[in-house]
Chain A
Amino acid sequence: MDLRKLGLGAAALAAGLAALPALAQNEQFIPLLSYRTGAYAPNGIPYANGVADYYNMINERDGGINGVRIVFEECEFGYATDRGVECYDRLKGKGPTGAAFVNPLSTGVTFALTDKAPVDKIPIITMGYGRSESADGSVFPWNFPLLGTYWSAADMAVQHVASKSGGRAGLKGKKIFLVYHDSPYGKEPIALLENYAKLDGFQFTALPVAHPGTEQKSTWLQIRQQRPDWVLLWGWGIMNSTSIKEAAAVNYPRDKMIGVWWSGAEPDVVPAEAGAKGYNSLTLQHGAGTYPVHGDIVKHVYDKGKGAGKKEDIGQVLYNRGVMNAMLGVEAIRKAQSRYGNKSLTGEQVRWGLENLSIDNTRIAAMGMDGFMQPLRISCADHEGVRRARVHQWNGKAWEFVSSWYEADMSRIGPMYKEAATKYAAEKRIAARDCSKES
């Protein structure tokens, strides 16, 4: 690089810095950790597009959240934990008040940030992923596994199996296998499924698949030999489509496979072509499809040429998940503004907004999300808010719902949350909050 270019760059940088303070008063900064490269990119891209489009839509349509514009910056980390933590540290202090919250979209990064959150005072929203026991807000004040944890997901997957086997009693003697991504993400449901195997009397076997998930021949050979009644899939990225292809290759019936909500999107089934027909997965409330909110995104973002992705990809499962995730963050900021005023808020203030977040049916309809999501209510003791899911099936061209709503059974999961959270509190020597005294 020659000196002239360096000088120009420095001048541009100085100009950029000089322009900042003028705008800074009414801005809310939100970091966006994403992965658009690597083995997990097929799933990371639509999600990141959904998040970016929703923030842009709020800015374009409403001029921000009650007049406070959203400023966000994307940081690519390729699903690598250390780079994800670096991205978080890079972005956490930006904007007038620092990051409002962070969505890591990686269970590994979530685990690492769980330690940092109380120090940095930035809440972590892990919608449908992360550490299961962090649903217990008394021990994990900064973690919000909204809409369901992996334990809720595993519980509902077992409920679906039960409903197909003639009730809970029908589970007895069934063989259920779990094919999982060999990382904290994939291992999360094992503890719960082992517990349920004892309670319901089914045989449970967990089969690991090493990162990145392209080597699954031996796993599916085992499945072919042992013929389990059901296979649960806990994969991410190219592992999902590989699993479905391998299932087709060993002729394991795809309609006996249930993926978690991270294993049930278009990038997972489309590469397997006809082999994916009949494959089931849980949904994190929403499925594919467009709702009035998508109309606003097209009108205010794509028609102005500011879209993050392609117009025809709007309404894909993971795109919708990005929209949902962005919406929950925005609503939390809105809630926090009702207490702290319509200005840039700190992470600590947004945390209050998250903990007191409540979205009812009128609000859902007002946001143009009728039928897209279920009402939820967060409290100090319950950071999940709602734990309901349906199962949808790939018919070769599109996803269609094939079950009614399931709700995770708190009488079974609750004690497990408590036990795991207590163990964490003891290991980290932290005292749990008393939720009855929280306002």
Chain B
Amino acid sequence: MLYREAGQFKTNYQSDQQVFPITQDRWSVLAIVVAAFTLVPYFASDYLIISILNPFLILAIAAIGLNFLVGYCGQISLGSGAFMAIGAYAAYNFATRVPGLNLLIIFILAGGTSALVGILFGIPSLRIKGFYLAVATLAAQFLFEWMFLRVKWFTNYSPSGSVVAPPLEIFGLSITTPGAKYYLVLSIAVVVALIAKNLTRGHIGRSWMAIRDMDIAAEIIGIRPLQAKLSAFAVSSFFIGIAGALWAFVFLGSWEPLAFDINRSFQLLFMIIIGGLGSILGCFLGAAFIMILPIFLNQAPALFGIRLSTETVSHLEFIIFGVLIVFFLIAEPHGLARLWSIGKEKLRIWPFPH
């Protein structure tokens, strides 16, 4: 009833090509973003901001990055943990070796470094596809885990191999409180989501999707696989690298390569599979599902006044989480984003379904 397009006429190309063509969508997304900026910092506790919202937003950025490659361009990658690590260690090295560099520039440089490496590891994608490519990207995962563990230069010869992020500062403002960190992460997440949405609607995104759907057909209609595939690897690694730098600097503060191990790669891949391949909204939904749900399940028994031993709680957490993954994948193999769009379709024709 509320969600209906009747009367919304598009009279020029500009209004037809908006990011959110439906007025209700436009306003609700705007309302969510405004609320996230204004209301959330005042009502959310420190715990909610530090342990839930910040890591959720950072992983959502990484999921967006991975979704370019897997969801839009159809190239399976198992190396996203490594690209996060590259972003984190590049940011660390830029910050400690080049004093006085602006934090935002550090993040962009970290993303850039990750993008360069991403292009390098994208080259095999020109010859191999599918599962074979996944194995090739797995090489990146193991190579970089090994490198950050063994090559001492990357960790500035820290005896324990664990490195510490320098104090965060942007334009003289020091970022130490949970609120300040939240604003930083949220601003970057909004910018990234906006870029992502536009990139995938433009000619670059369309060439990726053409490659994904059928690479030979795409080549015949004039899309160069080299440019399309490598640009997907570059853009994807760029955003994953920024997410890695944020994860290390803003969320962990001090880290070791184990923070970016193969499980991180799987976690990101599961996020986009459950959230929805080829959907920006899906990245946020998937990140929420994979990251927030286990923490919620872990606290749920205490929340409802049920006393259980911590052992039982964490076993229950695994069981319920696993069952929910299976349930959602059976209910909608195309992910949570698809469930949402089905719901939207139904709302548009309500109450007269045909």
Chain B residues whose C-beta falls within 8 Å of the C-beta of A108 in the assembled complex: 162, 256, 258
CB distance from A105 to the nearest CB of B (A): 14
Footprint of A on B, CB under 8 Å? 45-47, 50-51, 55, 96, 149, 156, 159-162, 164-167, 176, 251-256, 258-259, 261, 295, 298-299, 303-305, 309-311, 313-315
Report, as a range, how many residues of chain A touch the other chain: 35 or more
Segment touching B, from A58-66, A77-85, A316-324, A403-411: A77-85
Asked whether, in the complex, the Cβ of B176 is within 8 Å of the Cβ of A420, the reply is no
Chain B residues whose C-beta falls within 8 Å of the C-beta of A9 in the assembled complex: 303-305
Chain A residues whose C-beta falls within 8 Å of the C-beta of B256 in the assembled complex: 81, 108, 111, 183-184
Asked whether, in the complex, the Cβ of B310 is within 8 Å of the Cβ of A12, the reply is no
CB distance from A134 to the nearest CB of B (A): 11
CB distance from A51 to the nearest CB of B (A): 12
Asked whether, in the complex, the Cβ of A89 is within 8 Å of the Cβ of B96, the reply is no
With A182-B149, A183-B258 as given contacts, are A115 and B51 in contact (CB-CB < 8 Å)? no
| Complex A-B: 26 CB contacts under 8 Å | A13-B303, A13-B304, A15-B305, A37-B315, A81-B255, A82-B252, A89-B46, A90-B51, A92-B47, A111-B162, A111-B256, A112-B254, A114-B164, A114-B254, A115-B254, A131-B160, A183-B161, A183-B256, A184-B256, A187-B162, A188-B160, A420-B159, A428-B164, A428-B166, A429-B166, A429-B167
Q: How far is the CA of A107 from the CA of B47 in the complex (A)?
A: 22
Asked whether, in the complex, the Cβ of B166 is within 8 Å of the Cβ of A427, the reply is yes
With A89-B51, A93-B47, A131-B160 as given contacts, are A81 and B310 in contact (CB-CB < 8 Å)? no
Chain A residues whose C-beta falls within 8 Å of the C-beta of B159 in the assembled complex: 132, 187-188, 190-191, 420
CB distance from B61 to the nearest CB of A (A): 16
CB distance from B311 to the nearest CB of A (A): 4
Q: How far is the CA of A256 from the CA of B205 in the complex (A)?
A: 62
CB distance from B151 to the nearest CB of A (A): 13
Asked whether, in the complex, the Cβ of A36 is within 8 Å of the Cβ of B305, the reply is no
Asked whether, in the complex, the Cβ of A184 is within 8 Å of the Cβ of B176, the reply is no
**A168 is an interface residue with CB less than 8 A from chain B:** no
**A211 is an interface residue with CB less than 8 A from chain B:** yes
Residue of A nearest to B317 (CB): A76
CB distance from B6 to the nearest CB of A (A): 34
A36-B314, A111-B162, A111-B255 given; 9 more Cβ-contact pairs under 8 Å = A9-B304, A9-B305, A107-B160, A112-B253, A114-B164, A115-B253, A184-B162, A188-B160, A190-B159
Asked whether, in the complex, the Cβ of B167 is within 8 Å of the Cβ of A81, the reply is no
Chain A residues whose C-beta falls within 8 Å of the C-beta of B304 in the assembled complex: 5, 8-9, 12-13
Q: How far is the CA of A16 from the CA of B307 in the complex (A)?
A: 12
CB distance from A21 to the nearest CB of B (A): 17
CB distance from A237 to the nearest CB of B (A): 14
Q: How far is the CA of A184 from the CA of B315 in the complex (A)?
A: 28
Closest 9 A/B residue pairs (Cβ): A12-B305, A9-B304, A191-B159, A184-B160, A115-B253, A184-B162, A36-B311, A76-B310, A89-B51
Q: A1-37: contact bitstring with B at CB < 8 Å (1 yes, 0 no)? A: 0000100110011011000000000000000001011
Q: How far is the CA of A92 from the CA of B47 in the complex (A)?
A: 9
Residue of B nearest to A14 (CB): B305
**A340 is an interface residue with CB less than 8 A from chain B:** no
Asked whether, in the complex, the Cβ of B259 is within 8 Å of the Cβ of A86, the reply is no
Asked whether, in the complex, the Cβ of A13 is within 8 Å of the Cβ of B51, the reply is no
Residue of B nearest to A16 (CB): B305
CB distance from B3 to the nearest CB of A (A): 25
Chain A residues whose C-beta falls within 8 Å of the C-beta of B305 in the assembled complex: 9, 12-13, 15-16
Residue of A37, A92, A185 with most chain B CB atoms under a 10 A cut-off: A37
CB distance from A219 to the nearest CB of B (A): 15
CB distance from B249 to the nearest CB of A (A): 11
Q: A94-123: contact bitstring with B at CB < 8 Å (1 yes, 0 no)? A: 000000000000011001101110010000
Asked whether, in the complex, the Cβ of B164 is within 8 Å of the Cβ of A211, the reply is no
Q: How far is the CA of A296 from the CA of B96 in the complex (A)?
A: 53
**A424 is an interface residue with CB less than 8 A from chain B:** yes
Asked whether, in the complex, the Cβ of A112 is within 8 Å of the Cβ of B47, the reply is no
Q: How far is the CA of A182 from the CA of B146 in the complex (A)?
A: 11
With A82-B259, A93-B46 as given contacts, are A424 and B51 in contact (CB-CB < 8 Å)? no
With A12-B305, A76-B313, A182-B149 as given contacts, are A90 and B47 in contact (CB-CB < 8 Å)? yes
Residue of A12, A78, A92, A187 with most chain B CB atoms under a 10 A cut-off: A187
Chain B residues whose C-beta falls within 8 Å of the C-beta of A190 in the assembled complex: 159
Q: How far is the CA of A89 from the CA of B254 in the complex (A)?
A: 15
Chain B residues whose C-beta falls within 8 Å of the C-beta of A420 in the assembled complex: 159
Residue of B252, B254, B304, B309 with most chain A CB atoms under a 10 A cut-off: B254
Q: How far is the CA of A182 from the CA of B148 in the complex (A)?
A: 12
**A75 is an interface residue with CB less than 8 A from chain B:** yes
CB distance from B150 to the nearest CB of A (A): 8
Residue of A nearest to B149 (CB): A182
Q: How far is the CA of A185 from the CA of B298 in the complex (A)?
A: 27
Asked whether, in the complex, the Cβ of A74 is within 8 Å of the Cβ of B47, the reply is no
Asked whether, in the complex, the Cβ of A76 is within 8 Å of the Cβ of B164, the reply is no
Asked whether, in the complex, the Cβ of A81 is within 8 Å of the Cβ of B51, the reply is no
Asked whether, in the complex, the Cβ of A85 is within 8 Å of the Cβ of B162, the reply is no
Q: How far is the CA of A52 from the CA of B259 in the complex (A)?
A: 29
Q: How far is the CA of A243 from the CA of B314 in the complex (A)?
A: 28
CB distance from B244 to the nearest CB of A (A): 13
